[in-house]
A and B are shown apart, each in its own frame.
Chain A
Amino acid sequence: MKRGYLYTVLFMVILSAVFTFALAASYEGFKPAINLNAALQRERAILYTFGLEEVLDNDEATRKFDEVIREGELAGIQVPVYEEDGQVMGYALPFEGAGLWGTIRGYLGLNAQRSEVTGLVFTEQNETPGLGGRIDEPQYKEQFRGLPISEGTAIRYGNSQGQQLDAVTGATQTSAAVLRILNSALEGLFTGEVD
């Protein structure tokens, strides 16, 4: 069947309009759930860096978050601050940088004196599943708890002041990228004032 150009153009315009409208409508419908998930993921991530997550369900996690975390400032950057009874217990330093495949984002929990890491969490990473992606497994992340840090000393793999830190086997590039990102986030942190 032969049809004119006008029909072809009109058909495409109308079809595009219909589908765009349908997608926009479904996005509006899903948005509350999507935003809630994103907020919850962030709350859980921050709680995790302070070792507070345990086995909380979603409501408990949000309540705990509202109770002990407030937005504060550390060395000139906005960071979530962990407080208990008006006393600063730690900071969740956000970090971001290039991994092997994509951007790696997350939070590094520090104690109030900034002398120790309280925990590490990744909120976004696109490393090879099963290899670099294993940085997101407890086996790797948990090693960072209690890791001593100090001004002018970069975090490195191996044994530092009695604490062993291992890279992920088979994921040399990703493992190196993580430390590079963390060290550059920590750099300049020690020059600022404590909030």
Chain B
Amino acid sequence: MAENPRAIIKRNLFGENQVLRQILGICSALAVTNTMRNSLVMGIGLSFVTALSSLTLSAMRNIIPHRIRMLVQTLVIAAYVIFLDLLLKAYLPDISKQLGPYVGLIITNCIIMGRAEAYAQQNPPVAAMLDGLFAGLGYTLVLMIISLIREVMGFGSVFGMDINFLKLQTWTIMIMPPAAFFIIGSLIWGLTARAQRKARKEERA
């Protein structure tokens, strides 16, 4: 029984967004979101790894011995991350240099293992791949929102393009990791409040 693709997409982008609803992948959401370009590459990289590792793990789900499944997950994820790192080094050296150690740290991103444990283990490969891809894109979406706020307020630019004609005073705090904490916190607050209001309305109805 495979979940319908539209439900997978909607669930991962909004309803169960990995960063804002599951509170996963926070460390990189704090670290790389001071410019939009880095956030985008990080998001695409993570989506790539999550999709492929979910696909691989789901394809093997019936032959993986249960007691070593986490070892297997880590192995598969690490292999894809190293592959991605090599790919960036070979074809996008500038971005690889800017992201530096963060690419390697994709391995430790809880979203990937979370999807492997929670979804790829019980679902067929194509659905698992979609789930992984859109979990990653949901993460990318949140990263882009945070980095838009941080880049505009911290550097006065969007994707590196100067928008200083607005004559905004740039805030150093926006460049530093704590700024992402405030922004993520506010976003989580907003979303949770909305979800609760909706639940209450349904209760009354």
Question: Which A residues are closer than 8 A to B by beta carbons?
Answer: 3, 7-8, 11-12, 15-16, 19, 22-23, 26-27, 30, 33-34, 37, 41, 126, 128-131, 169-170
- Interface residue count on the B side (C-beta < 8 Å): 30
In this complex, the member of B65, B79, B93, B172 whose beta carbon has the largest number of chain A beta carbons within 10 angstroms is B65
A57 to B67, CA, bound (A): 54
CB distance from B177 to the nearest CB of A (A): 9
From B63, B64, B65, B176, A128 is in contact (CB under 8 Å) with B176
Could you tell me the distance between the alpha carbons of A11 and B172 in the complex, rounded to whole angstroms? 52
Residue from A15, A23, A128, A131 within 8 A of B82 (CB atoms): A23
What 6 new A-B contacts, CB under 8 Å, besides A11-B68, A130-B155? A8-B65, A15-B72, A19-B75, A23-B82, A23-B83, A30-B89
Instruction: Tell me the smallest distance from the CB of B55 to a CB of chain A, in Å.
Output: 14
Complex Cα distance, B65 from A7, in Å, reads 8
Question: How far does the alpha carbon of A3 sit from the alpha carbon of B66 in the complex, in Å?
Answer: 9
Given known contacts A34-B89, A131-B176, A8 and B100 CB-to-CB distance under 8 angstroms:
no
B interface, CB within 8 angstroms of A: 32, 34-35, 38, 63-65, 67-68, 71-72, 75-76, 79, 82-83, 86-87, 89-91, 93, 98, 100-101, 154-155, 172, 175-176
- Report the Cα distance A89→B84, complex, angstroms: 42
- Check A3 against B65 for contact (C-beta < 8 Å): yes
Q: Check B34 against A8 for contact (C-beta < 8 Å).
A: no
**CB-defined contacts of B83 to chain A, threshold 8 Å:** 23, 26
Q: Say whether A129 contacts B79, CB under 8 Å.
A: no
How near does chain A come to B109, taking the closest CB pair, in angstroms? 18
Complex contacts, A170 vs chain B, CB 8 Å: 172, 175
A19 CA to B101 CA in the complex, in Å? 22
The smallest C-beta distance from B168 to any residue of chain A, in angstroms, reads 16
Structural contact, A34 and B75, CB atoms closer than 8 A: no
CA distance A33 to B93 in the complex (A): 10
Interface pairs (13), CB distance under 8 Å? A3-B65, A11-B63, A11-B68, A12-B71, A12-B72, A19-B75, A19-B76, A26-B86, A27-B86, A34-B89, A37-B93, A129-B175, A131-B172
Nearest CB on A from B175, distance (A): 4
How close is A1's CB to chain B, nearest CB, in angstroms? 8
Across the interface, A37 reaches (CB within 8 A) one of B75, B90, B98, namely B90
Expressed in whole angstroms, the Cα–Cα distance for A81 and B79 within the complex equals 41
A155, B154: Cα distance in complex, Å: 30
Closest CB of chain B to A127's CB: distance in Å? 10
Contacting residues, chain A, for B176 (C-beta < 8 A): 128, 130-131
Whether B68 contacts A8 by the Cβ 8 Å rule is yes
Instruction: Write out the residue numbers on chain A whose beta carbons fall within 8 Å of the beta carbon of B71.
Output: 12
Cβ contact within 8 Å between B89 and A130: no
Chain B nearest CB from A139 CB (Å) reads 13
B147 to chain A, nearest CB (A): 11
Query: Nearest-CB distance from B73 to chain A (Å)?
Result: 11
Q: Which 7 residue pairs of A and B lie closest in terms of their CB atoms, listed nearest first?
A: A130-B175, A33-B90, A37-B93, A30-B90, A8-B65, A19-B79, A30-B86
Residue in B closest to A129 when the chains form the complex, CB atoms: B34
Query: When chains A and B are docked, how far (Å) is the Cα of A8 from the Cα of B68?
Result: 7
Q: Which one of A7, A22, A129 has the highest number of Cβ atoms from chain B below 10 Å of its Cβ?
A: A129
Name the residue of chain A whose CB is nearest to the CB of B87.
A30
- Asked if B65 and A130 sit within 8 Å, CB to CB, the answer is no
- Contact of A23 with B90 in the complex, beta carbons under 8 Å: no
Q: Provided the pairs A15-B72, A23-B82 are in contact, do residues A130 and B91 lie with their beta carbons within 8 angstroms? A: no
